[in-house]
Chains A and B, each alone.
Chain A
Amino acid sequence: MSALNITKGSSSHSAYDLRDPYAEVIESHTLAVLVDNESGVLARVIGLFSGRGYNIDSLTVAEVDHTGHRSRITIVTRGTPQVIEQIKAQLGRLVPVHAVNDLTVEGPAVQRELALLKVAGKGDARIEALRLAEIFRANVVDSTLESFVFEMTGTPEKIDAFAELMRPLGLREVARTGVAALSRGA
């Protein structure tokens, strides 16, 4: 039975935002969740994901409005369209949640992640690491005679690619912030 013709956006709620109901494809979505910065709110969000069996690929959180005590949680998650809709609806009904925005469907968005990578090595490997870092626009934020710490920002894919290249060159440790994202335009 086909979905009735309900115009998209006829309600603010995502329940009306039907995509192909039978699609079983796994999609990756970036969600921005605006919450009250109160104790337990992160546990509530994470508990929702673990309790209902949803995936978290990346999660970042920080207070973005110090006077209103609001934090922004950016979650990258995966699932079928139905699961993604469920995740948004489940997040939306948490009491301390003020807004859930799906940056993946609501138009173009920019995504950035910051990473620190420690690479140890000597000789050619060391020179090659530095050369690649330049290509990737990674900064050297610490160096010894036998190691570098690179700092880079970019999309998660770019960081993945850089880390992959560093692996044979002596990659020791990686610290990543997870994704921060904003929709483009005003």
Chain B
Amino acid sequence: MTQANASAMTGAKMIVKALKDQGVEVVFGYPGGAVLPIYDELFLQNDIRHILVRHEQGAVHMAEGYARSTGKPGVVLVTSGPGATNAVTGLTDALLDSIPLVVLSGQVPTFMIGTDGFQEADTVGITRPCTKMNWLVKDTAKLAETIHTAFHVATSGRPGPVLVDIPKDVQFAQAEYVAREKIKTSHYQPRVKGDIEAITKLVELLEKAERPVFYTGGGVINSGTAASQLLRELVDATGFPITSTLMGLGAYPASGRNWLGMLGMHGLYEANLAMHGCDLMINIGARFDDRITGRVADFSPHSVKAHIDIDPSSINKVIRVDLPIVGDVGHVLEDMLRIWKSRGRKVNKEGLAKWWAQITEWKAVDCLDYKNSEKTIKPQYALQRLEALTKGMDRYITTEVGQHQMWAAQFLGFDAPNRWMTSGGLGTMGYGLPASIGVQVAHPEALVINVAGEASWLMNMQEMGTAMQFRAPVKQFILNNERLGMVRQWQELLHGERYSHSWSESLPDFVKLAEAFGCKGIKCSDPKDLDDAIMEMIRYDGPVIFDCLVEKHENCFPMIPSGKPHNEMLLGEAETQGVIKAGGAVLV
């Protein structure tokens, strides 16, 4: 490549230009020797904002929060070696939850690769199983093209994280920039339109079903807001009940007439029994995860199952379905609605009326009921108050992982997609705090709350520094039970109440910790003070760490123990004695 060439530029410049051409506004990152040329280029421009994190895992979760709340890919920049290895948990998290990310990592110069150079790691080797695709770029002439391809792959079909590993000499060398429009993406074009014959079959089933249920997942959210809109139209027009996985909350509004609540291990009684008893299950963008199915052999034994998914490998992976439809949820729903309408909008009214009567009976069980207390704050109560006091606000919720996460899913209502960010597939403690910052960066005026457990929160608490530096007024609502609550619950139910290492000792004073970071700390332990304390948190103009001291031994119900079918659900303390046999204990 000749220097004289007008459009020749260094690899580092090319990277920044490619990001701009992809419409990137924010990069979450952390510098180091192998990415200094890129940081130099970032310094010389003002279009892309760089958020300096405190740990690379934080950067990836922030990018996930950013991506999930905007529908755009999140971008991360890390250095070689430890920078890249620190990103691995976040990459795996994004892979399991199908979140589009583009991670750029520095690498030792090409001539040093394989010599165990300083901060050398086999980054593409390490991240191959935890990315949708990754590339090591050894030639500057291929760099721009690779970055554009990376964005295409991350956001096409089933979204996911990708990584581009860039040796330092490739960042310094010059080559010609390849424009975004010039790249060939023809061979990676996952199919989006569903098979019309199969969709028509599904409409026929829909017209006759006596006990139908929509079982929706994160695929609806990933498909875009239009898909959520179509889903609402379909559900309301057919009058069918609808449940959703943890990942899909908000696609259909929690305030909607046909909403059954979340299903699964800690899902609602009516949702799980509807799944168990239905005669037609319409899976839209969900993947029959083991948290959903319980014992596979007894999963929804009397239903015809249809499955709409953009990823052919999701079909028949866990549950044999009768009617697979490979395609993008939005496209398939559009065709489905059109065909159903053109055939006269038929449903089995009589069957449906009986089905709803049955569901109403199940609802009357009031499975989320709990014993409240005047003395201690029950975690469920704290979330009910949080819900009531933030209702109608421009609100985004992230969570950590544990009991608090499940209670948040049960007690908070989401009326729009992209408002609920939680680590579903990987269950990554430490996700919520950085994710909340990523959400806030994308939505500076919104109220962003991380519903946290004290143990999870400590895992990435260093990111409070990031929140302070970039004025991200995130609210850390910590349900502090001084326990690894979910672990403690399992030990109580499965391991003879031997609470092996499941309590949080030597916890910091969260209020003082807040002061140390320069933000606001609030502590609350009396139910009577809770409303005022929550309002104080909401009104404070800046980050808040809210230490909400809750009941220490509360269990999360309903619960389908591992290895049990949906209709063997535990509803409360009275039913928990010796319920989980050895077979269930080996499952997680």
User: Taking beta carbons and an 8 Å cutoff, which residues of A are in contact with B?
Assistant: 1-4, 6-7, 10-11, 13-16, 21, 39-40, 43-44, 47, 51, 82, 85-86, 89-90, 92-96, 98
Q: 26 A-B residue contacts at CB 8 Å?
A: A3-B322, A4-B304, A4-B323, A6-B198, A6-B323, A10-B198, A11-B198, A13-B191, A13-B326, A16-B195, A16-B324, A21-B316, A39-B136, A40-B124, A40-B134, A40-B136, A44-B128, A47-B128, A86-B316, A89-B317, A92-B313, A93-B157, A93-B311, A93-B312, A94-B133, A95-B132
Which residues of A have CB within 8 Å of B315? 15, 89
Alpha-carbon gap, A13 to B303, bound state (A): 24
Which B residues are CB-close (under 8 A) to A92? Answer: 312-313
A85 to B201 CA separation, bound complex (whole angstroms): 23
Q: How far is the CB of B200 from the nearest CB of chain A, in Å?
A: 11
Q: Cβ of A43: which chain B residues have Cβ within 8 Å of it?
A: 125, 128
Q: Bits for B138-176, please: 1 = Cβ < 8 Å to A, else 0.
A: 000000000000000100011000000000000000000
Please name all residues of chain B whose beta carbon is closer than 8 Å to the beta carbon of A90 when the two chains form the complex. 313
Q: Are B201 and A6 in contact (CB under 8 A)?
A: yes
When the two chains form their complex, are residues A95 and B133 in contact, meaning their CB atoms are under 8 A apart?
A: yes
In angstroms, Cα B437 to Cα A54, docked, is 40
Contact B201 A89 (CB under 8 A): no
The CA-CA distance from A93 to B132 in the complex, in Å, is: 9
Judge whether B197 and A10 touch: CB under 8 Å. yes
Q: A21-B320, A43-B128 are in contact. List 9 more A-B contacts (CB 8 A).
A: A11-B198, A11-B326, A15-B324, A44-B128, A89-B312, A92-B312, A93-B311, A95-B153, A96-B133
Whether the Cβ atoms of B322 and A86 lie closer than 8 Å is no
Closest to B310 in A: A93
**In the complex, what distance in Å separates the CA atom of A51 from the CA atom of B131?**
13
**B313, A86: Cβ atoms under 8 Å?**
yes
Report the minimum CB–CB distance from A44 to chain B (whole Å): 6
**Given the complex of chains A and B, what is the CA–CA distance between A72 and B190 in angstroms?**
21
Q: Return the 4 tightest CB-CB contacts between A and B, nearest first.
A: A89-B313, A95-B133, A15-B315, A15-B324
B118 contacts A by Cβ under 8 Å: no
B540 at interface, CB cutoff 8 A: no
A64 CB to closest chain B CB, in angstroms?
16
Query: In the complex, are the beta carbons of A6 and B303 less than 8 A apart?
Result: no
Cβ of B539 under 8 Å from chain A: no
B317 to A, closest residue via Cβ? A86
Cα A13 to Cα B191 in complex, Å, equals: 10
Residue of B nearest to A96 (CB): B133
Distance of B97 from chain A, by nearest CB (Å): 17
Residues on B with beta carbons closer than 8 Å to the beta carbon of A40:
124-125, 128, 134, 136
Question: A39-B136, A40-B128 known; A93 and B313 CB under 8 Å?
Answer: yes
Using A1-B322, A6-B323, A39-B136 as known contacts, say yes or no to A82 and B316 having CB atoms under 8 A apart. Answer: yes
Q: Looking at the assembled complex, report how far the CB atom of B1 sits from the nearest CB atom of chain A, in whole angstroms.
A: 21
Name the interface residues of B188-208: CB closer than 8 Å to any CB of A.
Answer: 188, 190-191, 195, 197-198, 201
B residues contacting the other copy or chain, number (CB 8 A): 34
Q: How far is the CA of A14 from the CA of B316 in the complex (A)?
A: 11
CA distance A30 to B289 in the complex (A): 30
Is there a chain A Cβ closer than 8 Å to B129's Cβ?
Answer: yes
| Closest CB in chain A relative to B310 CB, distance in Å | 10
Inside 8 A of A85's CB, which chain B residues have their CB? Answer: 316
CA distance A13 to B313 in the complex (A): 10
For chain B, residues 211 to 240, give those with C-beta under 8 angstroms from any C-beta of chain A: none
Closest approach, in angstroms, between the C-beta of B121 and any C-beta of chain A? 15
Minimal beta-carbon separation of B485 from chain A (angstroms):
32
Closest CB of chain A to B268's CB: distance in Å?
A: 25
> How many Å lie between the Cα of A2 and that of B125 in the bound state?
43
Within B507-539, the residues touching A (CB, 8 Å) are: none
Q: Does B187 contact A (CB under 8 A)?
A: yes
> A51 — which chain B residues lie within 8 A by C-beta?
129
**What is the CA–CA distance of A6 and B204 in the complex, to the nearest angstrom?**
13
Q: Is the CB of B128 within 8 A of A4?
A: no
Contacting pair A82 B128 (CB below 8 A): no
Contacts of B128 in A (CB 8 A): 40, 43-44, 47
- A90 to B314: give the CA distance in the assembly, Å: 9
B157: chain A residues within 8 A (beta carbon) = 93
- A16-B324, A40-B124, A98-B187 as given contacts; A6 in contact with B197, CB under 8 Å: yes
Q: Could you say which residues of chain A place their CB within 8 Å of the CB of B303?
A: 1
Beta-carbon contact of B313 and A4 below 8 Å: no
Task: Collect the chain A residues with CB atoms within 8 Å of residue B132's CB.
Answer: 95
Contacts of B304 in A (CB 8 A): 1, 4
Among residues of B, the one whose C-beta sits closest to the C-beta of A22 is: B320
Q: What's the minimum C-beta distance from B85 to chain A, rounded to whole angstroms? A: 18
Chain A residues closer than 8 Å to B313, beta-carbon distance: 86, 89-90, 92-93
Residue of A nearest to B314 (CB): A89
Roughly how many angstroms separate A43 CA and B191 CA in the complex, as a whole number?
26
**Contact residues in A for B323 (Cβ distance below 8 Å):** 4, 6
Closest to A94 in B: B133
CB-nearest residue of chain B to A81: B316
| A14–B198 CB distance below 8 A | no
Q: Specify the chain B residue showing the minimal Cβ separation from A87.
A: B313
Q: A66 vs B133: C-alpha distance in the bound complex, in angstroms?
A: 23
The residue of chain B having its C-beta at the shortest distance from the C-beta of A92 within the complex is: B312
Of chain B, the residue at the smallest CB distance from A38 is: B135
Using CB atoms, name the residue of chain A closest to B132. Answer: A95
A10–B132 alpha-carbon span in the complex (Å):
28
Q: List, in ascending order, chain A residues with CB within 8 A of B305's CB.
A: 1
- Min CB distance B325 to A, Å, is 9
Nearest chain A CB to B319's CB is how many angstroms away? Answer: 11
